[in-house]
Amino acid sequence: MKFAALVRSAALVTAVALVPVTTAGFAQVDSRVSPEFAKLFAVYNRIKASYVDPVSDDKLVRGAIDGMLASLDPHSAYLDGGDLQRLETMIDGNYSGLGLSVVMDDGAVKIVSPFKGSPADKAGIKAGDYITHLDGKLIYGGSLDDAVAQMRGEAGSKIRLTIYRPGSDEPFDVTVTRGVIELEPVTSELKPGNIGYISVNEFSRDVGSDVFSAYEKMKAEAKGRLNGLVLDLRRNPGGSLDEAVALSDLFLSNGTIVSQRGRAKGESITYDAETVYRGDMAKNVPMIVLIDEGSASASEIVAGALQDHHRAMIMGERSFGKGSVQTLLPLGKEAALKLTTARYYTPSGHSVQEGGIEPDVIVPQLSDPDLAKREKMSLRESDLRGHLVNEAALKDKDMEKDKKADPRFQQTAEELKAKGIEDFQLDYALKTLRRTAPGNLARKD
C-alpha cells in the first residue's frame, strides 16, 4: 500500500489537506518517560484486574490511542489496517457509496459537504446536516470509520439515512441509492458572453494540469480571448496541498502562494509562485472565485492566495476555516498516524484557522429554499469540538457578517426558480463579469 496514494483517499473522507511526511526523523521521542505515564498504567492495571468482563490488550491500547488523538483536534486520527484498506478503495476517486464528506462532531456524524453530482447531493442532503441513524440503527457515539463503512456498499443498493437538519422541527428519513462515485475533479463549460466556468470538486492528483487543459479548451471554443473566468470552489472539502499550490500557480507569476508553520523541524515551509507553472495562463482575464461554507483547506489556500495577490474577486460565503495541515506518518506496515503538524497562512500572513476566507463580495445562495436555516446552523471548523484555536484569538463577533439587509439579495428561491435561475451565486458572478469592463475587476497588477 502506497502512503502517497492514501493521502488523497483520506482527503475524500475527512475533508482535510494532507501532505506526505518528507523530513527524516520527523519527531524526536524524548527518552525520559513522563511520570504521567504512571497514571495510564495504573488505569490499565485496574481495568484488567477489576472490570466486569475480560478486556483485551488490543481494545485498551486502541482506546488509549484514540483518546489521545481525540484530545488534540478533530483531524488527527490513528488508522489501522482496516482503515487503510477502506481508504485504498478511494485512491482513484472510484468507489461505491453516497459521496459525502463527513466529520465527527461531539459524537455525531456531521456532513461537511456532499460531493457535487453524487447520490447524496441528488437526494437533497446538505452541508451541516447530521446523520443520526443508518437503516434505523443509531450511530451516535460510534466511530466515524464505522459509519463511513456502513454507508459504503454495492452500487444500486439502497440505504436509509435519518437526517437531523438544524432549524427543522423533526428528523426525517432520506433513502439514497448508492452509486459508483467517479469523481470528476475538474469540470468546465463556456458560458454565454465567452465567460469561462471551471468547477474544481476536489484537490486530487493532476488538478492543476486538468484546469490548464480545461482553460485551453474553452479558449479555443471561444475563438479568441475569454472575457472572464469563474473558478468554482464551493463544496470543495480539500485534498492535496501540492495541487492547491499548482492551481494557484496557474494564475500567479510572482510572490508567495501559501506558507505553513509547524513545531517540528522541516514543517515550516513557504510555497512560491513560478515553481510549478510559468506565468499567468489567464493574464488580463477578469476572474471570480466562488466559495461557501463547504470550501475547506486546499480550497481556502487557493482563494486566499488569489485574494491576497488581488488576482481574483472572491465571491460567495465565508469558507469553512480549516487552516491546519495533516501529515500521514507510517507506523509499521499496517497502520499510520494522521497528525496535525502545522498551520498554514495566506500570502499576507492571515491564518485561515477558524475565521476562514471572507469573500470580497458576500453573495447568499438565494436559490436554496433552506437558506435561512442553513445560515443559522451552518457547520464550520470553529464549530467542531476540540478545534485548533486561531492564534489571533478571533471572537465570534469578529466573524459575524453584517446583518443589514442588502437590497440586491431580496429574491426568494421560488421567484428565482420561476426565472430559471437554479444557482443564484453562479448567476450573479456571470452577470458581474458580463456587465463589467475587463479593466474594472480585480486582476493581476
Going from the first residue of the chain to its last (445 residues), give the mean pLDDT of each consecutive group of 10, the final group possibly shorter: 39 39 42 75 94 95 90 85 58 68 81 82 88 92 82 90 86 92 85 96 88 96 91 89 94 96 87 94 96 91 97 95 85 84 92 88 88 60 52 48 64 88 95 74 46
Confidence at residue 13, expressed as pLDDT on a 0 to 100 scale: 30
Amino acid at 247: L
- How many Cα atoms occupy the beta-carbon half-sphere of 331 within 13 Å? 15
Phi, psi of 399 (to 5 degrees): -105, 0
pTM over 0.95: no
Confidence at residue 148, expressed as pLDDT on a 0 to 100 scale: 85
Confidence at residue 8, expressed as pLDDT on a 0 to 100 scale: 35
Contact in structure between 270 and 256 (CB atoms under 8 Å): yes
Confidence at residue 221, expressed as pLDDT on a 0 to 100 scale: 95
Just list the catalytic residues: 297, 308, 322
Confidence at residue 147, expressed as pLDDT on a 0 to 100 scale: 87
How many Å apart are CA 362 and CA 386, to the nearest integer? 28
Query: What is the torsional sign of CA 116, 320, 98, 422?
Result: negative
Of 295, 359, 348, which is closest to residue 321 (Cα–Cα)? 295
How many Å apart are CA 324 and CA 281, to the nearest integer? 29
Q: How many helices (H) and strands (E) does the chain have?
A: 13, 20
Confidence at residue 289, expressed as pLDDT on a 0 to 100 scale: 98
Contact in structure between 221 and 196 (CB atoms under 8 Å): no
Confidence at residue 86, expressed as pLDDT on a 0 to 100 scale: 57
Confidence at residue 65, expressed as pLDDT on a 0 to 100 scale: 92
Confidence at residue 390, expressed as pLDDT on a 0 to 100 scale: 55
Longest dimension (CA), the chain: 78
Confidence at residue 291, expressed as pLDDT on a 0 to 100 scale: 97
Of 202, 238, 201, which is closest to residue 325 (Cα–Cα)? 238
Confidence at residue 337, expressed as pLDDT on a 0 to 100 scale: 87
Q: Which residues pair with 160 in a beta bridge?
A: 175
Going by the DSSP 8-state scheme, the letter that residue 263 receives in this structure is S
Confidence at residue 225, expressed as pLDDT on a 0 to 100 scale: 83
Confidence at residue 87, expressed as pLDDT on a 0 to 100 scale: 54
Residue whose cell numbers read 482535510: 16
Confidence at residue 264, expressed as pLDDT on a 0 to 100 scale: 83
